[in-house]
Structure 1
Amino acid sequence: MNRRDMLRYSTAWGLAGGLIALFDQPVRAAPGVVDVNAVLNDPESPLGGNPKGDVTIVVYFDYNCPYCKKSMPDMNRFVAQDGKIRVVYKDWPILAPSSITGAKLALAAKYQGKYMAVHDALMAIPHGHVTDDEMHEAAAASGVDMTQLAADAEKQNDAITALLKRNAEQADAMGLPGTPVYLIGPFKMASALDYDGFAQVVSDTRDQLRKR
């Protein structure tokens, strides 16, 4: 891991679980300063990994992003092997209209406990510029109940739309440049990390926690 790839923040926040986040520039209001608790603990944001992990990875991503698709399998493998990582998934559909379709499919699947199944299926589509039909086909192939998903998507549309809006406001307030972005302890990684990259940043985070 090249440490020059790490975008260090300059304004300190205290994060849940003892983490410290440091901003590289003053936070823009959207509509105000970033709510750290909302970033880490939004009750509507899907979670993965160990909910009691000592390090949290917050990932902002898009289902049309080839760099997200390249990096996500390594993140998943690292999280599974480490065993002490909590993951917060921030659907941030910014690349195409079909990105919104994918995000809404995955988030609607959450209501039947199938977010990760649909998320993984959408991430496994081996190209960008995914069509709406391809998003639906991948979701259906994940094993989710598509009839229930459609019903939940309609019933929960306001909640899903509000969550996507919050994610976008957070990303704007933090000046995130695009997808993927990984917030890991005091580091903002605006790049497609590989397994070793995740391991290095998490190790550096734990080193800082031990020094506190």
Structure 2
Amino acid sequence: MKHPLLLTLLCTVAGATQAQYTEQEIGQIAAEYLVENPQFLLEASKNLQEIAQNKAMAEQIDQVLVQKEALINNDTPFIGNAKGNIAIIKFFDYQCGYCGVMAEHMKSLVKENNDVKVYLKETPIFGARSEPSLLAAEWAMEIFTKKGNQAYENFHNALWHAAKNNGNQLSNDLIKDQVEKAGLAFEDDTKFMTQTPQENVRLFSQLGFRGTPALIVMPTEGANKDNVSVIAGADIDEVRKAIEKAQS
């Protein structure tokens, strides 16, 4: 290395060391060093990116803690143990293929771990351009409100299954069929009892999520920045790690 004092100069730039070089000379030294050692720039970029990601994650977890009551409440349908000490909050859209994958994982997960309660947040982020996306979410919450959690769970699972058998394509006809099986009269345009799906979309955005599935894992009591995890995407291994973290 042509200038062994470079790292000291770049890190401290202070006292006698600073006095030995002009600003222009320091700039020239830095430029020469980076040409000779491009891996330093790549490593610095990686470190800066990691710092930014960690900062963003910390801020997101802070928002999760602020919004805990909106995330964990009796107005949200669920699967798993009603009294489970570990909450998994799942934001999803029925038009999202990866959400369907996670739906299967969640069913397996609650069988593996009887301390888990999965809160299902109907979040039709594709609703603006896909009528079935919003319609499915609204009817799901209508069934939950009028028929209860078990009827909701049946509808939820049956709709994923029907869509999968239809090439992962959701349609009004598929929704209609499952709504009627739940014991309600289907209409394309009706006045629903709740605005929960729209509220979930707003909460989803406030928490900084951009795509579904989006998951939060946290203890139902004593949640803090050290035992809360935020997971973007269909990564069941990360969910399992997050459960262990929430239990510690």
**Shorter-chain TM-score above 0.5:** yes
The separation in 2 between residues aligned to 1:201 and 1:47, in whole angstroms, is: 19
The separation in 1 between residues aligned to 2:182 and 2:175, in whole angstroms, is: 13
Greater shift after overlay, 165-174 or 124-133?
Answer: 124-133
Alignment partner of 1:146 is 2:184: yes
The answer to whether the 8 Å contact 1:55/1:85 transfers is: yes
Alpha-carbon shift at residue 154 of structure 1 (Å): 5.0
Alpha-carbon shift at residue 67 of structure 1 (Å): 0.1
The letter for the 2-side match of 1:91 is E
State the number of aligned residues. 176
The answer to whether the 8 Å contact 2:142/2:193 transfers is: no
1:15 alignment partner in structure 2: none
The separation in 2 between residues aligned to 1:121 and 1:106, in whole angstroms, is: 11
2:72 alignment partner in structure 1: 40
Alpha-carbon shift at residue 34 of structure 1 (Å): 5.3
The letter for the 1-side match of 2:241 is Q
Q: What is the TM-score normalised by the length of structure 2?
A: 0.63
The letter for the 1-side match of 2:125 is I
The separation in 2 between residues aligned to 1:72 and 1:198, in whole angstroms, is: 13
Q: What is the TM-score normalised by the length of structure 1?
A: 0.73
Alpha-carbon shift at residue 45 of structure 1 (Å): 1.5
The separation in 1 between residues aligned to 2:93 and 2:160, in whole angstroms, is: 9
1:130 alignment partner in structure 2: 170
1:174 alignment partner in structure 2: 207
The letter for the 2-side match of 1:206 is Q
1:56 alignment partner in structure 2: 87
**CA radius of gyration, larger in:** 2
The answer to whether the 8 Å contact 1:34/1:174 transfers is: no
The answer to whether the 8 Å contact 2:88/2:119 transfers is: yes
SS at structure 2 position matched to 1:117: helix
The letter for the 1-side match of 2:157 is D
Higher relative contact order (CA 8 A, sep 6+): 1
1:188 alignment partner in structure 2: 230
What is the CA deviation profile of residues 1-49 of structure 1, one whole-angstrom value per residue up to 9, with x for unaligned ones?
A: xxx9x977324xxxxxxxxx824xxx5xxxxx953211211x3211221
The structure whose residues are more often strand, as a share, is: 1
What is the CA deviation profile of residues 87-143 of structure 1, one whole-angstrom value per residue up to 9, with x for unaligned ones?
A: 111000122221111112211111213100111111222144422112222444xx4
Select 2:153's aligned residue among 90, 99, 116: 116
The separation in 2 between residues aligned to 1:44 and 1:206, in whole angstroms, is: 25
Select 2:133's aligned residue among 77, 91, 99: 99
Q: Percent identity?
A: 22
SS at structure 2 position matched to 1:10: helix
The structure whose residues are more often helix, as a share, is: 2
Q: Aligned Cα RMSD in Å?
A: 2.7
The answer to whether the 8 Å contact 2:83/2:117 transfers is: yes
The letter for the 1-side match of 2:184 is M
2:100 alignment partner in structure 1: 69
The answer to whether the 8 Å contact 1:59/1:90 transfers is: yes
The letter for the 1-side match of 2:229 is F
Question: After the TM superposition, which segments of 4 or more aligned residues of structure 1 sit over 4 Å from their partners?
Answer: none
Alignment partner of 1:202 is 2:202: no
